[in-house]
Every structure is written in structure tokens, then in C-alpha cells.
Amino acid sequence: DIQMTQSPSSVSASVGDRVTVTCRASQGISTWLTWYQQKPGKAPKVLIYAASILESGVPSRFSGSGSGTDFTLTIATLQPEDFATYYCQQAHSFPWTFGQGTRVEVK
Amino acid sequence: EVQLLESGGGLVQPGGSLRLSCAASGFTFSSYTMNWVRQAPGKGLEWVSAISTTGDSTYFADSVKGRFTISRDNSQNTVTLNMDNLRADDTAVYFCARGSSGANYWGQGTLVTVSS
């Protein structure tokens, strides 16, 4: 199985900050990488798919990059509604695997 | 509008069985791989199972292999997860999710609690 290692597990940030989350795959997955945002009590929401393609309707302050084993999610200018937990997920092969999650908290 | 509506969750004793259903609408159901993903209380996301468009291919996480089965009815736009020999660590919210290269639509989830 492909292991996804996400870091950091949490980050404290303020509105307006730039936030970066990284995700590393245990083997190459090309660009089969999706980023999700999840708020408490809600289903995850896709932000980025194919490593760098912004899902329709997602604000442009979110961006993704990487290929192979190393990936990054960046929130350019953190907004109040962005405080949430973020997950990466590989779709290169079954079983799909998720990173452990990164909680973006208010500083 | 794409909608996925899960049902069938509840309280079950260890060793018991439960059947979860997901009713899909707003898209051509037969064109999409369907998945179940779960989330234990306070924990991260864990993919559980997937089924191909025709139902010919199914996939399972090691943690549920041999205990869970997945099926779909393309005439009724439903996907079903049959869960047998349930354990306490199966306690989670179970989400139905659409997609084969990432899940771009999710249901609201149904809670399964395994406890005596």
C-alpha cells in the first residue's frame, strides 16, 4: 500500500497568513493526488485534484503543486473560512490512502 | 445537482451485521466508480471500499477484507455496503463518495456504532 505522510499535523495561523501543507507518498504517484478540506461535522470537500488543478468554485488563493512523491497545498492569504482540517489522498492505486490531516487553527 | 444520500447506520453489537445504502441522483450513476470512506470519531479519513461502474470489480481496505462486501444497482442508482462481523473499531461515520481519481462528491455520512 502507498503511505501518505502529511505535515505538519497542525498549524496555528492568522487571517492573512500564507499557509503551506506538505504531503509525501511512499512511492511515486505521478499527479494522482487530491487535496480536501473538512470542517467539523461535514463531509470533505475537494479543493485540488490531479495535484494542481483547482476544483470549480474553489477560491484561487488555494493552489497545489508537485508530482511523483512530494506535494504541496498552499493557501496564499488565509481567510476566516479556511480554518479547517486538510487531507491529501492518493488515487494512483487502490487502496486509496489519505494523509493524517493538517488542522489549521486560529493563532 | 449531484446528491448522495446514505442510510442504514445505527447501533449494532460486536459480531453483528449492518447494511448501508447510498442513493445517488443528479448524474449518470452508471458512469462512475463509487466508494465508501469512513471516519472514526475524532480521527482521519479511511477509504473502505470501491466498486467499478459495472460492478465487475470491487476493492477493499485490508481492515475490512473478508467482512464487508460492496454492490451496486445501476437501475436504482444505489450502492450498498454490507458489513458483517462488525468490531468496535468499525465505529465511524461512513461516507459514500463518487469518483475514481479522487472523490469529488460526498454524501453527508451515516453513523455506525459498534458497541455492546
Among B48, B27, B49, smallest CA distance to B105 is for B27
Nearest CB neighbour to A49, from listed B50, B61, B101? B101
pLDDT of residue B115: 97
- Measure the CA angle with vertex A40, ends A37 and A45; round to 5°: 25
Predicted confidence (pLDDT) per residue in A17-59, tens digit? 999 999 999 999 999 999 999 999 999 999 999 999 999 999 9
pLDDT of residue B93: 98
Predicted confidence (pLDDT) per residue in A55-100, tens digit? 999 999 999 999 999 999 999 999 999 999 999 999 999 999 999 9
pLDDT band at A15 (very low <50, low <70, confident <90, very high): very high
CB hemisphere CA count around A105 (13 angstroms):
9
pLDDT of residue A29: 97
Instruction: Decide if pLDDT at B100 tops 90.
Output: no
Q: Name, in order, each residue with C-beta under 8 angstroms of B27's C-beta and a sequence gap of 6 or more.
A: B2, B98, B105
Q: Does residue B10 sit in helix, strand or coil?
A: strand
pLDDT of residue B102: 85
In DSSP notation, A31-56 reads T-EEEEEE-TTS--EEEEETTTEEPT
d(CA B8, CA B110): 7
Instruction: Compute the nearest-CA separation of A80 from chain B (Å).
Output: 22
In DSSP notation, B60-113 reads E-TTTTTTEEEEEETTTTEEEEEE-S--GGG-EEEEEEE-SSS--EE---EEEE
What is the residue whose three cell numbers read 437501475? B75
**Residues in chain A closer than 8 A to B107 (CB atoms):** 43
Q: Report yes or no: B5 at the A interface, CB cutoff 8 Å.
A: no
Phi, psi of A97 (to 5 degrees): -135, 145
Instruction: Decide if pLDDT at B51 tops 90.
Output: yes
Percent of chain B with pLDDT over 70: 100
d(CA A60, CA A42): 22
Predicted confidence (pLDDT) per residue in B26-42, tens digit? 999 999 999 999 999 99
Phi, psi of A36 (to 5 degrees): -125, 155
pLDDT of residue B30: 97
pLDDT band at B83 (very low <50, low <70, confident <90, very high): very high
Q: How many residues does chain B have?
A: 116
pLDDT band at B6 (very low <50, low <70, confident <90, very high): very high
Q: Report yes or no: B92 at the A interface, CB cutoff 8 Å.
A: no
**Residues in chain B closer than 8 A to A34 (CB atoms):** 101-103
pLDDT of residue B101: 83
Mean pLDDT of the residues in chain B? 97
What is the distance of C-alpha B11 from the center of its chain?
Answer: 16
